[in-house]
């Protein structure tokens, strides 16, 4: 039993990190394609975690590639992988965000922006600019641009990935971005108010990748151990 099959009844979304597969060249790309196909067979929502962004013509070219697909020799667009959403970083501000916003509107592909991370990577995000912090200013831009892709249920196709924020900061982000999906990249056992709304996705802690090291799973097949750990996590939400 594959990992995806083992958790297909408990997990609705899979996020595939491009950087984990790039070192393996064409074999890594083939693996991504295979994972996407299997995830699709289980009806999972697929986030292609590329974290790519740019400005000007390169930014528009990236958005076109992710939205419509790469241009083949026949001149037609074809996606390399069957995904429903991509990730990007929002720190090229308006110019970078606008390219992705146009992709959302035309191509029915969502985008999740890595708005706030934890650790030292948050240093610049937390710098003050005027009366707000950098990431708070960017959040307002995402909220404004995301209104162009709001569906009938008032959900925007521009979401954000958040980690390293306290509950009051997450609640403030929700007040700034009421139409955005929040991807809380790691769940460490704390329950916060924004987890209760229908626009919140909870990521698995990276420790789940190492369940085979736990004594209680020493004699259990990895896929089965992974399934049990996911179910335990799910029961706490």
Instruction: Give me the DSSP letters along 49-97.
Output: E------HHHHHHHHHHHHH-EE-TTS-EE-SS--SEEEE--TTHHHHH
List, for residues 86-132, the tens digit of each pLDDT value: 999 999 888 888 888 877 777 778 999 999 998 787 889 999 999 99
CB contact at 8 A, 183 and 138: no
Residue-level pLDDT at 208: 66
**3 state DSSP class of 120:** helix
CA 12 to chain centre: 13
Rounded Cα distance between 89 and 91, Å, is 6
Residue-level pLDDT at 222: 74
Residue-level pLDDT at 202: 84
Here the tokens at position 231 are: 């179910």
Structural element, H or E, at residue 142: helix 134-146
Residue-level pLDDT at 217: 58
Residue-level pLDDT at 64: 82
Residue-level pLDDT at 209: 64
Q: How many CA atoms lie within 13 A of 118 on its CB side?
A: 9
CB contact at 8 A, 113 and 158: yes
Rounded Cα distance between 195 and 182, Å, is 9
Rounded Cα distance between 91 and 134, Å, is 9
What's 48's DSSP letter? E
Which parts of the chain have pLDDT scores under 70? 186-191, 205-220, 237
Closest CA to 114 of 157, 158, 167: 158
Q: Indicate the fold that domain 50-203 takes in CATH.
A: TIM Barrel (3.20.20)
**3 state DSSP class of 160:** strand
CB contact at 8 A, 42 and 8: yes
What's 211's DSSP letter? G
């Amino acid at each position: 039993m594959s990992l995806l099959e083992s958790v297909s009844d408990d997990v609705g979304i899979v996020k595939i990190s491009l950087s984990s597969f790039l070192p393996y060249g064409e074999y890594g790309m083939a693996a991504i394609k295979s994972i996407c196909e299997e995830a699709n067979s289980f009806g999972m929502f697929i986030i292609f975690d590329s974290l790519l962004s740019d400005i000007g013509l390169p930014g528009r070219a990236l958005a076109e590639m992710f939205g419509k697909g790469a241009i083949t020799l026949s001149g037609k667009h074809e996606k390399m992988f069957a995904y429903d959403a991509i990730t990007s970083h929002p720190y090229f501000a308006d110019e970078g965000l606008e390219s992705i916003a146009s992709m959302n509107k035309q191509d029915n592909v969502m985008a999740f922006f890595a708005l706030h991370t934890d650790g030292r990577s948050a240093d610049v995000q937390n710098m003050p600019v005027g009366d707000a912090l950098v990431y708070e200013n960017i959040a307002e831009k995402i909220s404004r641009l995301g209104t162009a892709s709001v569906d009938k249920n008032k959900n925007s196709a521009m979401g954000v990935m958040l980690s390293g924020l306290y509950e009051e900061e997450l609640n403030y982000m929700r007040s700034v971005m009421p139409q955005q999906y929040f991807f809380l990249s790691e769940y460490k056992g704390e329950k916060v108010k924004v987890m209760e709304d229908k626009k919140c996705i909870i990521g698995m802690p990276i420790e789940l990748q190492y369940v085979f090291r736990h004594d209680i799973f020493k004699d259990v097949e990895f896929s089965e151990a992974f399934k049990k750990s996911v179910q335990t996590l799910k029961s706490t939400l």
